[in-house]
Amino acid sequence: EVHLVGSGGALVQPGRSLRLSCAASGFTFDDYAMHWVRQTPGKGLEWVSGISWNGGKTGYAGAVRGRFTISRDNAKNSLYLQMNRLRPEDTALYYCVRGPDSSGYYFDHWGQGTLVTVSS
């Protein structure tokens, strides 16, 4: 069974940094692209970033490009999101998500999410 367990969410002040992690199990991690998708409390879904199976290709939403960096460590079956210069509008539940491709197809398994709150 596929398991995606996100961690690292916290309350952080605007302008600070935070690193999210996602531990994957139950499948061959380096067979898949991975993504981060966020959801503002009570609102809809927003794709944040995606990375190819070997990390060679990454993509970002316009709202986070230049501030966030996605990466992965296939030896550790782990996905990361380095979030810099955080803003209040980055407050959201961040889901670690699996997909066949870093910029196409669908999102076939979702983790439970880790909550990031940006506030002074």
Interface residues with another protein (CB under 8 A)? Answer: 35, 37, 44-47, 50, 59, 61-62, 95, 103-113
Please identify, using beta-carbon distances, which residue of 10 and 61 lies nearer to another protein. 61
| Shortest distance, position 82 Cβ to another protein, whole Å | 20
In order of 33, 107, 113, the CA distances from 16 in angstroms are 28, 30, 21
The pair of structure tokens assigned to 31 is 């067979």
Q: How many CA atoms lie within 13 A of 16 on its CB side?
A: 14
Please identify, using beta-carbon distances, which residue of 16 and 57 lies nearer to another protein. 57
| Shortest distance, position 21 Cβ to another protein, whole Å | 17
Is the CA virtual torsion 94, 98, 101, 107 positive or negative?
A: negative
| Shortest distance, position 119 Cβ to another protein, whole Å | 23
Please identify, using beta-carbon distances, which residue of 30 and 101 lies nearer to another protein. 101
| Shortest distance, position 80 Cβ to another protein, whole Å | 19
Scored b (16 or more CB within 10 A) or e, 33-51 reads bbbbbbeeeeeeeebbbbb
